[in-house]
Amino acid sequence: MEYLDLPPLTQARGAVQLPGSKSISNRILLLSALAAGTTRVNHLLDSDDTRVMLAALTELGVTVTQLDGSRDYQITGVAGCFTQSKADLFLGNAGTAFRSLTAALALSHGDYQLSGVARMHERPIGDLVDALRQLGAQVSYLGQDGFPPLKIAPLIANDHAEVSVRGNVSSQFLTGLLLAAPLTGRAVTIGVEGELISKPYVEITLNLMRRFGVDVVRVGWQRFEIAAGQVYQSPGSIDVEGDASSASYFLAAGAIGGGPVRVEGVGRLSIQGDVRFAEALQQMGADIVYEDNAITASASQGLRGIDADFNHIPDAAMTIAIVALFAEGPTTLRNIASWRVKETDRIHAMATELRKVGAVVEEGADYLRITPPLNLQAATIDTYDDHRMAMCFSLVALGGVPVRINDPQCVNKTFPDYFSEFASITQSARAL
């Protein structure tokens, strides 16, 4: 399908069961693979990114069994040492898979090559490679320095126990180091240079490492200490939470389209930072109700623009840029420089497409300021092979204008059923 035409929509109401979290799914898959023992992983996300990780782990000798055609899997771990010491892995545009596997393989004892799609080769990885080299990793670039594709040779063990990594490009670099550090068998201290972005994603990493038996001492957000001799042990069974980033589209629909819209799979007990998207909606005037494992959004009054720092929820913040179209006054999203190195340059992409629907947009190095139009305009939205662009801009149709989404299949990266779920909670003007 080259495009999908969404009709003008008038309201949103209903309930959605969220797919599993991509961030949690791929972390759990790697941890299950590295652990001693067999882990049952329940409610794994079915998406391009998780398929990439599953395929890579299988190539590395990990036994992966899908249970009865369900979204549950059984992973037999390798106890820290992959059985296949040579592999050529293609990882698409899956940043969570590429960064974490780079770290894990670099601290093992094999020969590997890692590559991806053209956009993955434009996403920086030099900070992670520099940190891994401090631990004795032998990583070289097969193309431009600082970027994939990569060649990894067997680790040369050293006594270096303290490494540093920049924190202001991608939290996935720190996550990769944290996940891989126990493979060295020795005490490792990771220092973070500068401000650490996307801290809630690092919290997910630390939480899941604990579930697999490895404790990390965090000293502020600048120092992380992993004691020697810790090894990953299977917890036996582990559930994947619903995807909090994906929840943002439906919560926003409830705020824009009146609601109520209830998302099931995340709530006040969630370990994901992106549940704080609901707080931003509240600041804009939406009505939010929290349960342990669900959140409901509606709107009993008009929405208003806000000026806020979104460094902590960069993925979900994209949805706020769309909600801004329906608010009174401008909205400014600050501290979002990490958007530049995502699946596309999201600051530029969002600015370009927001202007198509009539918004006045000021684009900075690390911010967007959006002034909504008096009347939204029908538009054809380019998605830049970025799943979140497609999902975000579907919400524009709730302004009562038709929207064409180019390359809608890009949502397969994290949420293959997104558009059918979106249709299930929205009311078309043509149906009235």
What are the residue numbers of the active site?
315
| 106, two tokens | 């670099």
Sign of CA dihedral 388, 290, 278, 166: negative
Q: How far is CA 338 from CA 146, 176, 229, in A?
A: 16, 17, 34
List the beta strands (DSSP E) in 7-131.
9-17, 38-42, 63-66, 73-76, 86-90, 111-115
Cα–Cα distance, 12 to 7 (Å, whole number): 13
| Torsional class of 112: left (φ above 0), alpha (ψ -120 to 50), beta (otherwise) | beta
3-state secondary structure of 4: strand
**Cα 416 to chain center, whole Å?**
15
Sign of CA dihedral 279, 277, 261, 321: positive
Cα–Cα distance, 287 to 389 (Å, whole number): 25
Residue 35 carries which DSSP code? Answer: S
